[in-house]
Chain A
Amino acid sequence: MSGLRILVPIKRVIDYAVKPRVNRAQTAVETANVKHSMNPFDELSIEEAIRLRERKVPIQEIVAFSAGPAKSQDILRTAMAMGADRSIHVVVEEKDPQLEPLGVAKLLKKVVEEQKSDLVILGKQSIDDDASQTGQMLAGLLGWPQATQASKVEISDKTVTVIKEVDGGVETVKANLPMIITTDLRLNEPRYASLPNIMKAKKKPLEKKTLKDYGLDEQPRLTTVKVTEPPPRKGGVKVDDVDGMISKLKELGAL
């Protein structure tokens, strides 16, 4: 049996530790000169692909994929340092119209068909847009089964068992390959891309493509009306006694 071909799409986002700032025109979040890194949920999906291989699931290839500006290469290198075999970079310049989840899903569909992937592991959402749609849309476009918010993945032969995190508990689903999995926070503990591995990853192949190569010309369907910061938290008040608290609560309409 020839092994699995896994596709792991990843996204370059503003680092989780950075506090995002809204730009002056209130149209978007400031991205220039801000530290970027791989979306943490995508790190989980890379790690899961590598762990599947380490658990002796027959895997032919792990391909990392990213669409974004030239600097997305850095995170693809990180993915390869962690253990992906090669990667594909679709260059979308910052001045070009940005891809929306549907656009990404359409693009991924083409990539899946081109790479003949039979398992796609995505992060459940990116920490910049928080759309949490791409995986589901891709599953819809391909007509494949999907397991979202995975906290455990097991593969035996052609059957995949996934434990999903749902409100107030877990849910176990079973499906046959090919399928789509999106990762949740407790799936695994991503390894650190060490310096020697990053050096080694420079030798791994990285393919550069454009949207045109996939015959796509996505125009944005959504318009951003306005971006504002959340209102600052108001300070609390101290009350002297119980009566004071009750009257205060009544004032606020909580009683």
Chain B
Amino acid sequence: MAAVNRTLRHQVIRIYKELLFLGREYPLGYDYFRTRLHKAFASQQHLTDEKQIKQGIERAEHVRKEIEALYYLKRYRALRQRYDKV
């Protein structure tokens, strides 16, 4: 049991760090992003059930993908505006 928890703990920290890294480019600023990210993770810290933690990690992964898509779209639209619209 403890061993499983340790790997899960590692996974949680990893996704947290990845999200923090992504947050450096967040349009509303890093501070805005970091406080909210911190709150979101802190609000889940009571979870002990393995299944629930895994669900939480999945949700975080989902958020990561969403943010990446957001960045891509933001850039694509800016470039399209500048270079494609005649």
Taken residue by residue from 165 to 194, chain A's Cβ proximity to chain B (1 for < 8 Å, 0 otherwise) reads as 000000000000000000001000111101
* A135 interfacial by beta-carbon distance below 8 Å: no
Residues of A within 8 A of B72 (CB): 189-190, 192
Which of A17, A189, A192, A196 has the most C-beta atoms of chain B within 10 angstroms of its own C-beta?
A: A192
When the two chains form their complex, are residues A40 and B21 in contact, meaning their CB atoms are under 8 A apart? no
Q: How far is the CA of A17 from the CA of B77 in the complex (A)?
A: 11
* A25 interfacial by beta-carbon distance below 8 Å: no
Tell me the minimal C-beta distance from A241 to chain B in angstroms: 32
How many A-B Cβ pairs are below 8 Å?
30
- Chain B contributes a number of interface residues (CB within 8 A of A) equal to 17
Tell me the minimal C-beta distance from A215 to chain B in angstroms: 35
A195-B18, A196-B18 known; A16 and B79 CB under 8 Å? yes
- Chain A contributes a number of interface residues (CB within 8 A of B) equal to 12
When the two chains form their complex, are residues A185 and B80 in contact, meaning their CB atoms are under 8 A apart? yes
Which of B72, B82, B83 has the most C-beta atoms of chain A within 10 angstroms of its own C-beta?
A: B83
A185-B80, A185-B83, A185-B84 known; A192 and B18 CB under 8 Å? no
Taken residue by residue from 114 to 158, chain A's Cβ proximity to chain B (1 for < 8 Å, 0 otherwise) reads as 000000000000010000000000000000000000000000000
Residues of A within 8 A of B76 (CB): 185, 189
Q: Residues of A with Cβ closer than 8 Å to B?
A: 16-17, 40, 127, 185, 189-192, 194-196
Q: Residues of B with Cβ closer than 8 Å to A?
A: 14, 17-18, 21-22, 68, 71-72, 74-76, 78-80, 82-84
